[in-house]
Amino acid sequence: MNAEELYNQLKSGDIFPKIFAGYFQNQPPAKFITSADKKANKDLLQPSNDVLAERLVALFLYDYAIFLAATSARPGEEWIVEKRRLDGLMATAVANAVSNVLSVQSDFIALQEASISNVQSGIEGYNMNNSLVQYDSVHYEKKGKSSVIVFNKNRFTLMGPKNLGDFNVAGKGEAICAAFNSVAEPANQICVCSYHADSNGLRTNEFLEKVNAVCTEKYLLIGMDGNVIKKTEFEADNTTIKKYGANTFKVDAETAGLRITYKDIANEELFNTTSKNRTQLQSQQAKANKADKNPKDHILTRNIEGYMQAFNKFEGTFQWEDNLDMPNTQFAGDHALLFFQGILAL
């Protein structure tokens, strides 16, 4: 079964009943559902029509793992065995994706929630095929997932990572900031950051303030998944932020002296870098059945001017298509890829 056939079957809605009536004999996969999700089992056993809707193809690879378990597990094998097989395929896909990104010969790449081993495989694969441009990486890792900065060794030298304090504490976001200097002009020093925010983006402003304090270099470049939504939501007191929104983010970035890079410079409007709707076949049940179309990802700079492009599909080259859900059969990520080309202001 190829990706397009699988995609169409997921859209048709007939896979979910087969999974629960077939391989699992109407029982949820115990090793997939955490204890915190047990109260949701009744919903898992009887998916609503919304769960089967076309836009719930999101988290494509997780659903694919369950699909493999339901249709191709061998007698006596548990579903986790099939998921491990898929993990190997995913690792290869991630490594290939990194190599594809490196093919545009960027100076820096900021990745969030990445497996450093997969990223390193992509770097090694690219370096073996292209001796002219060599890459290395620096990262912060937590529970097997990392915020990573990949850098062009031909053009920049790593001076060292920054101390970000409790931004690397569980549940408070993962970040890496590091200083580099230019090989051609060593006096030109730049601080580069990769940041993955907490679920509601509540510490994103605090992170911007922290970066301003620790990144004393003239030039600053931040690639981030700030978990920013369209408009800030408040608690009942109308003062405490419940979910961090684009309107607040713009003010906070300006206050911190940072420049937000827009895809549409004329309108200076943030655009959706996510377009998905999680199914119930994943551990964060609170996010199931809720459309997620939000401007979550951003590139911010200090003393660097330039423009940004966004990509949500790959067909030989990176491309953008409006209103295309992510992930999709041409793009394995659930967030858009942002590409920034800039000039250092003297």
Angstrom distance (rounded) from CA 123 to CA 155: 16
Least confident among 76-80, 244-248, 332-336: 76-80
- Could you write out the three-class secondary structure of 33-83? CCHHHHHHHHHHHCCCCCCCCHHHHCCHHHHHHHHHHHHHCCCCCCHHHHH
Contact 102, 150 (CB under 8 A): yes
Same domain membership, residue 69 and residue 139: no
Angstrom distance (rounded) from CA 260 to CA 111: 18
Query: What range does the domain containing 308 cover?
Result: 106-344
- Beta-strand ranges (E) seen in 153-211 are 156-161, 174-182, 189-196
Same domain membership, residue 126 and residue 31: no
Total tally of structural domains belonging to the chain: 2
Q: Does 35 reside within a domain? A: yes
pLDDT at residue number 108 = 94
Angstrom distance (rounded) from CA 169 to CA 142: 9
pLDDT at residue number 165 = 85
Same domain membership, residue 75 and residue 118: no
pLDDT at residue number 242 = 94
pLDDT digits (tens, 9 = 90+) for 272-318: 898 876 655 555 666 766 778 899 999 999 999 888 888 888 777 88
pLDDT at residue number 159 = 97
Q: Does 197 reside within a domain? A: yes
Same domain membership, residue 177 and residue 125: yes
pLDDT digits (tens, 9 = 90+) for 168-215: 665 567 899 999 999 999 999 999 999 999 889 999 999 999 999 999
Q: Does 96 reside within a domain? A: no
Same domain membership, residue 270 and residue 124: yes
Contact 200, 242 (CB under 8 A): yes
pLDDT at residue number 243 = 94
Q: Does 72 reside within a domain? A: yes
Q: Does 100 reside within a domain? A: no
pLDDT at residue number 116 = 84
Same domain membership, residue 273 and residue 159: yes
- Cβ count within 10 A of residue 14: 10
Q: Going by DSSP bridges, is the β-strand pair 189-196/219-225 parallel, antiparallel, or unpaired?
A: parallel
Same domain membership, residue 70 and residue 214: no
pLDDT digits (tens, 9 = 90+) for 71-122: 444 444 554 555 565 566 556 666 777 777 888 788 999 998 887 888 888 8
Under the banding of pLDDT at 50, 70 and 90, the label for residue 329 is low
H or E stretch covering 250:
helix 246-255
Q: What are phi and psi of 175, to 5 degrees?
A: -145, 150
pLDDT exceeds 50 at position 46: no
Q: What is the CATH number of the domain that holds 321?
A: 3.60.10.10
pLDDT exceeds 60 at position 341: yes
Q: Does 201 reside within a domain? A: yes
Same domain membership, residue 39 and residue 166: no
**Cis amide bond preceding 295, omega within 30:** no
Same domain membership, residue 262 and residue 174: yes
Q: Does 22 reside within a domain? A: yes
Q: Does 206 reside within a domain? A: yes
Same domain membership, residue 76 and residue 12: yes
pLDDT exceeds 60 at position 260: yes
